[in-house]
Structure 1
């Protein structure tokens, strides 16, 4: 499975926002991580559309989480950035080419589709069971807060 770089950026931003006492401007989030401001802004917009963060207008504006960090799963962030579609899409290759099986033998998913679906479920379950708060616990949040 390959996730976009935006997923990593978005997760790190959510961790920073979980420690902030006030909204953090997108430019500051980009500077803290050494990433492109314009590219990060697109990902923050995706997080806002998903209801994970909200923009705050005004002189002291920026972004903030919409709910406590313990209620924001890593899966929600991943899906906000890369979408909810499954990583594997079965194309029924077993019904093509010289090894093609007749359709009547293909009433259930093949072994490849079953193992890929099981892996996807395990991956999603793991991400759903991890929150932004869990991740923040693994960072030096004192240093993080001092830079905000």
Structure 2
């Protein structure tokens, strides 16, 4: 977790749209357009989420992604590790052994034991990972659900339905034009 990028933020927001959506897969393209971000940007995120077992893909004209397990079993740490990979917050360079007064002969006491700076950074990383593991997608979805007005959810569902109906209409039109001589 060297640096948590915007990929994580968009990934989490996309996943929030999948909570309580067990029947209707959403495409990464629709999720991207719903949030005003490039579809190619999200197309790089979802395979990582799928590989981590957070989402499952369904093929076809009405295909897309669904959560692979209940939202209360998906922690923020799971999502971050899936998108960013498991990386340390701090990469100790053993600076403590490079002091100019050592004249290229570092005394044992200078590098004995764990670096105090590294120890503090490791403690911070452990605390952050613990905090992220205690917050689930379901928790945040519930908080968001209490904040957003009901009309927002019906507007989102209407938008998604229009998108899916548009794809179905296009598919019917394309297939009928192929049937004509």
TM-score in same-fold range (> 0.5): yes
Deviates more, 1:61-70 or 1:100-109: 100-109
Count of equivalent residues: 148
- Cα distance, 1:67–1:145 mapped onto 2, change above 3 Å: farther
Q: Which runs of 5+ in 1 are unaligned?
A: none
Q: 1:116 to 1:93 in 2, by over 3 A?
A: same
Residue-by-residue CA offset, 1:97-119 (whole Å, 9 max, x unaligned): 31555245423212110110000
Partner of 1:14: 15
Query: Is 1:144 aligned to residue 153 of structure 2?
Result: yes
- Following superposition, the deviation at residue 58 of structure 1 comes to 1.6
Structure-2 change in CA distance of 1:130 and 1:145 (3 Å): farther
**Following the alignment from structure 1 to structure 2, what is the Cα–Cα distance between the partners of residues 64 and 145?**
19
Rate the CA distance shift 1:60–1:113 in 2: closer, same or farther, 3 A: same
User: In terms of Rg, which structure is larger?
Assistant: 2
RMSD: 1.8
* TM-score scaled by length of structure 1: 0.91
- Between the aligned partners of 1:14 and 1:124, the Cα distance in structure 2 is 20
More RCO (CA 8 Å, sep 6+): 1
Per-residue CA deviations over 1:53-98 (Å, capped at 9, x if unaligned) read 1111122210011000000000010011111011101111101131
In structure 2, runs of 5+ residues without a counterpart are 158-181
1:126-141 equivalences in 2 (<5 Å): 126-139=131-144, 140=148
TM-score, normalised via structure 2 length? 0.75
Q: Classify the secondary structure of the residue corresponding to 2:57.
A: strand
Superposed structure 1 runs of 4+ greater than 6 Å apart: none
Q: How does 1:47-62 map to 2 (within 5 A)?
A: 47-62=49-64
Report which of the two has the higher share of helix: 2
> SS at the partner of 2:69?
coil
Q: Are the structure 2 counterparts of residues 66 and 41 from structure 1 closer, same or farther at C-alpha, using a change threshold of 3 Å? A: same
Contact in 1 for aligned 2:19/2:67 (Cα 8 Å): yes
Would the alpha carbon gap of residues 62 and 110 (structure 1) be closer, same or farther in structure 2, given more than 3 Å must change? same
Do the aligned partners of 1:95 and 1:103 also contact (CA within 8 Å) in 2?
no
Q: Is contact 2:96–2:110 with CA below 8 Å preserved after alignment? A: no
Q: Of the candidates 48, 51, 66, which is equivalent to residue 46 of structure 1?
A: 48
